[in-house]
Chain A
């Protein structure tokens, strides 16, 4: 099977914010190389101000790259027509507060040149999907933060997009809402959509993302599949049941001599939170270096588990 088609590609993508006089202010993104394929859920992580939103805006053509290139569906990110196949949920839902939910969705539907009948049907579906049936006739200015977030998400899905960019989709949502969104994201992925999201809720990211990239001060510090990244390669975990203390002691010796009955052998996984904090710590200590194997120095501790370094 050929690898799935590349949906998003950035080459040496760099963004420098300048002030009015053209003076360099912030290097928000430095030489980002990224490839995201169809059917992936890609998570973009990083501390505040690390360039996540900037990356998304560059992919959407809301910002122009200082150097480098951003390609979406193989076309330049500044081209409008690509938007036909994109859904975007901004960091905060930037919607017209004087419209109600139905009007909002209908308005964005019209921007996709959808005929009235299709629009009506789609609006009904989405309002139900995000759980706003009761509030569909109320103006957005009366909405709570989570409700606005929900309508924002509905708006991003109005055109049944192939590529969905979600900037902190779960911020402001209640636990049930968060769960629903995560399920929705997984469903969308199963339907063949590509999703790029950024979030500070690492547990959520860990749950849904296939791959992640971690940005720190505009530089990509880590990139890979979540399961591989969270696997500690230089640590071996052996789990065994029904052993006496003596036996355990013995096993230790056996392991030292490279032998014995091993019940399970594998790598312990860490949590994403630890990975993240490790990378950030590392980056702060050695600025400018791509981080590798951060977690080697700090073994995970599991109960009843034996961990050893080769």
Chain B
């Protein structure tokens, strides 16, 4: 699975999230209060400063509680009017041009065109909308202050809170309308761009017809004929058509029917045929009629069921994690091939109700992604580097019974779909098992992976294997992807307006851009702060760049090194940590990978993101209010 992040269920996430938020917001507020008091005390003396502070806080309560919807509405309306006059149309034009050009350079014949198209539209929309939000939100208020049009506004009974909120709302309305238009356009762009059918050549049709005629005439059973479609969008499909009903001894032709082609490039087509009257007669054979439908299952929204992952070491003893193979990112943990080392997922809720026979006739579909770490290339005499094989087993967590499902070649960097059959036979003793009867214990099922080639390693993380119980609806998932962009846009607007209350336009823009870039890198900064990355803290890293040292060599001992370490520790501990907490975590809201890779964006993720958004917007709004309130508008 490409999304290498564990999503906690919302209510499990909630208490910790809220506590964390309270802590961060509380400490920022406390810091602001202390700083404000210090500054004020320098000017007016400590006692007066305290009185002033308390007045400001009391005012803030009144100003926020006493906001009038009519005033906020008027200010929002103004912001909308202003935006329409300014940028919006241009941005929309740019978007259309981008889509037009994209039609040329996006290749529908690439390996995973759906992913390409979807991530393209999502990403381009995201950047355009964020750019729009950046311009709108940061330039408006400073322009109003510069033109002094704000003087006329603030001499009305308008609260600073209403000005800030009205601006935010107005731009949000504009952005939302734009985003909705872009979303609809993108959706149809993707569908249309990838829509295709396939022809079937007369030769193949004739092969089909001839075989059927032979069977009708001779009545002898033959294997279903396999034919190939003509290429379209750089691929072909194969399909088998078997139009005979096999009753006891009679063979009867069904004159019309439909079958699925095989899956290629992540989709299949429906092939429907009709055998016209007399088409199979010997003397004057007529052609078959057929139709190939649009691509199906191309856009999916898988709803995975995740399990709990644990490991066993080469001796078969339980271990916390697998081995670390060095330079690889620590997300995945590795098991050694040709030993008893295994990765074991325990799934819950594996019940016949969830996987009813009519919808899952073959068994339970699972998908897995494995990272392969080769210590040697293996047998490379052939044309291709041979794949590394693994074994997939299922087991009953209560009885310990185990059955091997199959040996499979690990496809690197690709998601592999497999089926755990309803009935399994153990090769060693020939015993057969019913999946739900014998191997599932109270809805729990274990799935084991081993690497069977000595000297090679498989890397896995918990989210790498999941059961595919249900399909989400792609269009809705697409909408959720846009919802993610929408939330990022709101964050951007909130930050933009907040910065523009006390900075001039271009500076506010830079600051917001900084917050955006920092926010997109919060993960990296978090690692930097916790010292997970090699090369040390910022100063040490900078020193290494200057001296062209590599990342892991020891620095020369002495006072200088101690100084570097000290500054770094302080930076990492306070500054970076703090920044990570305060910066808007834009990464959180970027769902493009989910939509593009066809994973349903879960309600849990959505809910926690919405709450996170509120958690950001609220304090940012308050900060904007204070900055505007405490500023001399006429300076």
Residue A228 at the chain B interface, CB threshold 8 Å: no
Report which residue of A80, A94, A112 has the largest number of chain B beta carbons within 10 angstroms of its beta carbon.
A80
Q: Are B157 and A95 in contact (CB under 8 A)?
A: no
Q: Are A113 and B63 in contact (CB under 8 A)?
A: no
Residue A7 at the chain B interface, CB threshold 8 Å: no
Report which residue of B70, B148, B156 has the largest number of chain A beta carbons within 10 angstroms of its beta carbon.
B156
Q: How far is the CB of B73 from chain A (nearest CB, A)?
A: 7
Q: Could you tell me the distance between the alpha carbons of A107 and B150 in the complex, rounded to whole angstroms? A: 13
Q: Are B85 and A63 in contact (CB under 8 A)?
A: no
Q: Which residues of B contact A64 (CB under 8 A)?
A: 632
Q: Are B70 and A90 in contact (CB under 8 A)?
A: no
Q: Could you tell me the distance between the alpha carbons of A84 and B632 in the complex, rounded to whole angstroms? A: 20
Q: Could you tell me the distance between the alpha carbons of A88 and B63 in the complex, rounded to whole angstroms? A: 22
Q: How far is the CB of B179 from chain A (nearest CB, A)?
A: 24
1/0 contact trace for B614-635 toward A, CB 8 Å?
0000000000000000001111
Q: How far is the CB of B339 from chain A (nearest CB, A)?
A: 69
Contacts A62-B632, A110-B74, A113-B68 hold; do A80 and B159 have CB atoms under 8 A apart? yes
Residue B353 at the chain A interface, CB threshold 8 Å: no
Q: Are A108 and B151 in contact (CB under 8 A)?
A: no
Q: How far is the CB of A126 from chain B (nearest CB, A)?
A: 15
Q: Which residues of A contact B81 (CB under 8 A)?
A: 96, 98-99
Q: Are A113 and B70 in contact (CB under 8 A)?
A: yes
Q: Could you tell me the distance between the alpha carbons of A277 and B349 in the complex, rounded to whole angstroms? A: 95
Q: Could you tell me the distance between the alpha carbons of A108 and B149 in the complex, rounded to whole angstroms? A: 12
Residue A111 at the chain B interface, CB threshold 8 Å: yes
1/0 contact trace for A22-58 toward B, CB 8 Å?
0000000000000000000000000000000000010
Size band of the B side of the interface? 20 to 34
Q: Could you tell me the distance between the alpha carbons of A230 and B75 in the complex, rounded to whole angstroms? A: 47
Q: Which residues of A contact B150 (CB under 8 A)?
A: 94
Residue A83 at the chain B interface, CB threshold 8 Å: yes
Q: Are A111 and B82 in contact (CB under 8 A)?
A: no
Q: Are A111 and B74 in contact (CB under 8 A)?
A: yes
Q: Are A112 and B152 in contact (CB under 8 A)?
A: no
Q: Which residue of B149, B153, B633 is within 8 Å of A111 (Cβ)? A: B153
Residue B233 at the chain A interface, CB threshold 8 Å: no
Q: Are A113 and B633 in contact (CB under 8 A)?
A: no
From B160, which residue of chain A is reached at the shortest CB distance?
A80
Q: How far is the CB of B555 from chain A (nearest CB, A)?
A: 40
1/0 contact trace for A86-118 toward B, CB 8 Å?
101010111110110000000110111100000
Q: Which residues of B contact A98 (CB under 8 A)?
A: 81-82, 85
From B153, which residue of chain A is reached at the shortest CB distance?
A111
Contacts A80-B159, A96-B78 hold; do A63 and B632 have CB atoms under 8 A apart? yes
Q: How far is the CB of B495 from chain A (nearest CB, A)?
A: 24
Q: Are B152 and A80 in contact (CB under 8 A)?
A: no
Residue A232 at the chain B interface, CB threshold 8 Å: no
Contacts A84-B157, A110-B73 hold; do A94 and B152 have CB atoms under 8 A apart? yes
Q: Which residue of A57, A80, A86 is within 8 Å of B634 (Cβ)? A: A57
1/0 contact trace for B580-599 toward A, CB 8 Å?
00000000000000000000
Q: How far is the CB of B164 from chain A (nearest CB, A)?
A: 14
1/0 contact trace for A145-182 toward B, CB 8 Å?
00000000001000100000000000000000000000
Q: Are B71 and A94 in contact (CB under 8 A)?
A: no
Q: How far is the CB of A133 from chain B (nearest CB, A)?
A: 22
Q: Are B635 and A63 in contact (CB under 8 A)?
A: yes
Q: Which residues of A contact B157 (CB under 8 A)?
A: 80-81, 83-84, 111-113
CB-CB contacts below 8 Å: B76-91 with A? 77-78, 81-82, 85
Q: Which residues of A contact B73 (CB under 8 A)?
A: 110
Q: Which residues of A contact B85 (CB under 8 A)?
A: 98
Q: How far is the CB of A83 from chain B (nearest CB, A)?
A: 4
Q: Are B152 and A62 in contact (CB under 8 A)?
A: no
Q: Could you tell me the distance between the alpha carbons of A110 and B81 in the complex, rounded to whole angstroms? A: 15
From B82, which residue of chain A is reached at the shortest CB distance?
A98
Q: Which residue of B74, B158, B159, B633 is within 8 Å of A62 (Cβ)? A: B633
CB-CB contacts below 8 Å: B135-153 with A? 147-153
1/0 contact trace for A71-90 toward B, CB 8 Å?
00000000011011010101
Q: Could you tell me the distance between the alpha carbons of A98 and B147 in the complex, rounded to whole angstroms? A: 13
Q: Could you tell me the distance between the alpha carbons of A98 and B63 in the complex, rounded to whole angstroms? A: 29
Q: Which residues of A contact B156 (CB under 8 A)?
A: 83, 108, 111-112, 159
Q: Are B634 and A94 in contact (CB under 8 A)?
A: no
Q: How far is the CB of A148 from chain B (nearest CB, A)?
A: 12
Contacts A94-B147, A110-B70, A110-B73 hold; do A63 and B155 have CB atoms under 8 A apart? no
Q: Which residue of A80, A94, A113, A159 is within 8 Å of B151 (Cβ)? A: A94
Q: Could you tell me the distance between the alpha carbons of A61 and B85 in the complex, rounded to whole angstroms? A: 31
Q: Are A90 and B151 in contact (CB under 8 A)?
A: yes
Q: Which residues of B contact A110 (CB under 8 A)?
A: 70-71, 73-74
Residue B28 at the chain A interface, CB threshold 8 Å: no
Residue A60 at the chain B interface, CB threshold 8 Å: yes
Residue B330 at the chain A interface, CB threshold 8 Å: no
Q: Could you tell me the distance between the alpha carbons of A62 and B71 in the complex, rounded to whole angstroms? A: 19
1/0 contact trace for B158-174 toward A, CB 8 Å?
11000000000000000
From B68, which residue of chain A is reached at the shortest CB distance?
A113
Q: Could you tell me the distance between the alpha carbons of A223 and B116 in the complex, rounded to whole angstroms? A: 78
Q: Which residues of A contact B148 (CB under 8 A)?
A: 90, 92, 94
Q: Which residues of A contact B78 (CB under 8 A)?
A: 96, 107
Q: Which residues of B contact A63 (CB under 8 A)?
A: 632, 634-635
Q: Could you tell me the distance between the alpha carbons of A40 and B307 in the complex, rounded to whole angstroms? A: 81
Residue B154 at the chain A interface, CB threshold 8 Å: yes
Contacts A94-B149, A98-B81 hold; do A86 and B155 have CB atoms under 8 A apart? yes
Sample of 15 more A-B contacts, CB < 8 Å, known A110-B71, A111-B75: A62-B154, A62-B155, A62-B633, A83-B157, A88-B152, A88-B155, A94-B148, A96-B78, A96-B149, A98-B82, A107-B78, A110-B74, A111-B157, A113-B68, A113-B70
27 contacts across the A-B interface (CB closer than 8 A): A57-B634, A61-B154, A62-B151, A62-B632, A62-B633, A62-B634, A80-B63, A80-B159, A81-B157, A83-B157, A83-B158, A84-B157, A86-B155, A88-B152, A90-B152, A93-B152, A94-B147, A94-B150, A94-B152, A99-B81, A107-B77, A108-B156, A110-B74, A111-B75, A111-B158, A112-B157, A113-B71
Name B residues whose Cβ lies closer than 8 Å to a Cβ of A.
63, 68, 70-71, 73-75, 77-78, 81-82, 85, 147-159, 632-635
Can you list the 5 inter-chain pairs with the closest CB atoms, starting with the nearest?
A: A110-B74, A62-B634, A111-B156, A94-B148, A83-B157
